Amino acid sequence: MIDYRFVIFFIVFGCIVPAKAADLPSKASEHVPSVVAEMGHVKISAVEFDAFKRQLDPEIRVQLEKDVPLQKKLAQDAIIKKFLIDQARSVGFDKKSDVREQMDRTAEQSLLAQYIADQVKLAPDFPSEAEIKNLYEKNKEVLRQPDKVRVAQIFLDAPMDADETIKKKARAQIYQLFKEVVAAPKKFGDVAKQKSDHQESAAKGGDMGLVSLNQLIPELLPVVSSLQPNEISSPVQSGGGWHILKLLEVQKGEIVPLSAVKMSLTNALRRQTMQKKEQEFLQYVVTKTPPTINIK
């Protein structure tokens, strides 16, 4: 089974490359001005910017066209990078022997990567609808949204930076309240209304409403996850103070529909298959022309 994780997009900005004649702006970019960004005498044209976006992951491009602030950030980072490259070349920095050697090595690495990618390239229509659906069915649990929980709390305000006297008093009080609600669980709501320092939930008998598990503060997450419905936790300390928790309800997270993750699954399958084909290609090269190593 593929080790699938929800995609967290990180755009790694590469160098702006001269646009080819075929790299015409897409219809989605028609609103972009002829000069997208400029810094000193350095400029990035709409054609260059569109060509640069074509180098990005397809899923990122879709998000980019919907997000004007992200487009501005991309253009800003690109023009700064192009400006600095221009400065480096204007002072002959690219002519230094050690820099030249590093640039040559980088060019060779790029050539190697492009060559291998060309040897193992996939068909544009890969994967098929059946393959995507099969991957989806195998990974449904991974694609499930976090469970939602309804939790009630009794909270005593005692920040970590509070006076020691206040912290000791809060600790003694929370354990006293814990004894009370364990002895009479049905009175949890009444105790929360009377004693909890969290006014919003106290007014509702401590009820914090329905929230996703991943919305809970880190100190409370493992405690809530271990509780059974109507079970009361021992006092737990967070950065803000002390909590006694009662699990009221658990709602199993819904499975994300195929339509929402189809593009991510497609990209995951293509990456996995490319990696496999690269290994097969390298093995083929070694088998066809076995290398001889003369180091003794």
Burial of 146 (0-12, 13-18, 19+ CB in 10 A): middle
The yes-or-no verdict on residue 85 having pLDDT over 60 is yes
Confidence of residue 54 (pLDDT cuts 50, 70, 90): confident
Q: How many Å apart are CA 99 and CA 191, to the nearest integer?
A: 70
Written as six digits, the tokens of 44 are 């990035």
Residue type, 94: D
The pLDDT of residue 141: 86
CB 238 within 8 A of CB 217: yes
Q: Nearest 5 degrees, angle CA 295-CA 106-CA 282? A: 55
CB 216 within 8 A of CB 208: no
Q: How many Å apart are CA 9 and CA 256, to the nearest integer?
A: 18
Written as six digits, the tokens of 22 are 């075929």
The yes-or-no verdict on residue 216 having pLDDT over 80 is yes
The pLDDT of residue 56: 83
Q: Alpha helices, DSSP H only, in 91-163?
A: 97-119, 129-138
Is the entire prediction scored with pTM above 0.85? no
Per-residue pLDDT of 221-261, as tens digits, reads 999 999 999 999 999 999 999 999 999 999 999 999 999 99
Per-residue pLDDT of 128-142, as tens digits, reads 999 999 999 999 888
The pLDDT of residue 200: 95
* Averaged confidence pLDDT in the chain: 87
Q: Nearest 5 degrees, angle CA 230-CA 232-CA 238? A: 130
Mean pLDDT of 164-182: 96
The yes-or-no verdict on residue 10 having pLDDT over 80 is no
Per-residue pLDDT of 113-127, as tens digits, reads 999 999 999 998 999
278 contact partners, CB below 8 Å, separation of at least 6: 116, 120
Confidence of residue 31 (pLDDT cuts 50, 70, 90): low
Mean pLDDT of 36-62: 88
Per-residue pLDDT of 277-293, as tens digits, reads 999 999 999 999 999 98
The pLDDT of residue 219: 94
Confidence of residue 65 (pLDDT cuts 50, 70, 90): confident
The pLDDT of residue 185: 95
